[in-house]
């Protein structure tokens, strides 16, 4: 599922044939990835995974929460940690944490008077699976995001060659940057 439909982009590009439909669908997917990378936001809902070697330190000013990339956060699917004594992954009960879906980026806080579990110090010992993204279908995507995607897609469709020519590097279209910049999440850039 993509934020733009094939018909929508073909209308924007003024294309009335179907022999490039597969190419255009690839352009839509690439444009979404470029726009999401630039804005730091997820336009379409998807499942993501946060992995870390440990929990925030107890001495840190922000030791009570974990930030999850690509807002907006919709929900937490699972919260697992590598149990220190058992050496296997265990699920941390949802009563131990609070999910803040209104903050951007979304956050997972320890519940009141709850400590982070003791984990085995190992790579990716903490795993949070979560759902993020603005919309469940292209009709739910805000129009300003769709417009930016049309502009990016137009550039990708028309300029199918390399992005570097001599010393000139092709960038995200200025208008698309202007559309995406007000909602850009700079914390994960």
Per-residue pLDDT of the chain (189 residues; tens, 9 = 90+): 899 999 999 999 999 999 999 999 999 998 998 888 888 899 999 999 999 998 887 655 567 899 999 999 999 999 999 999 888 999 999 999 999 999 989 999 999 999 899 999 888 999 999 999 988 888 888 999 999 999 999 988 887 654 444 555 556 677 777 777 777 766 655
* Domain span including residue 124: 46-132
Give, rounded to a whole angstrom, the gap between the first and last alpha carbons of the chain: 25
51, 123: one domain: yes
Show Cβ contacts of residue 152 under 8 Å, excluding neighbours closer than 6 positions: 31, 34, 35, 172, 173, 176
Number of domains in the chain: 2
Last residue of a domain, one of 132, 160, 179: 132
pTM, 2 dp: 0.78
Question: CA of 155: how far to CAs of 9, 73, 158, 159, in Å?
Answer: 12, 30, 5, 6
Q: What are the backbone dihedrals phi and psi of residue 117, each rounded to the nearest 5 degrees, phi first?
A: -65, 155
118, 103: one domain: yes
Whose tokens are 């934020």? That residue is: 3
Contact yes or no for 78/91 (Cβ under 8 A): yes
């Amino acid at each position: 599922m993509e934020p733009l439909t094939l018909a929508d982009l073909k209308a924007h590009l003024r294309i009335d044939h179907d022999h490039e439909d597969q190419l255009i669908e690839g352009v839509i997917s690439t444009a979404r990835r470029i726009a999401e990378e630039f804005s730091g936001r997820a336009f379409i809902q998807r499942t993501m995974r946060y992995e870390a070697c440990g929990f925030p330190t107890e001495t840190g000013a922000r030791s009570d929460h974990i930030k999850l990339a690509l807002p907006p956060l919709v929900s937490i699917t699972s919260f697992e940690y590598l149990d220190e004594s058992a050496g296997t992954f265990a699920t941390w009960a949802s009563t131990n944490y609070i999910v803040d879906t209104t903050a951007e980026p979304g956050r997972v806080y320890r519940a009141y008077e709850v400590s982070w579990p003791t984990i085995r110090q190992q790579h990716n010992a903490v795993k949070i699976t979560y759902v993020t993204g603005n919309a469940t279908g292209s009709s739910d995507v805000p129009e300003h995001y769709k417009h930016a995607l049309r502009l990016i897609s137009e550039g990708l469709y028309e300029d199918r060659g390399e992005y570097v020519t001599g010393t000139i590097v092709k960038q995200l279209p200025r208008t698309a940057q202007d559309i995406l910049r007000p909602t850009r999440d700079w914390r994960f850039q």
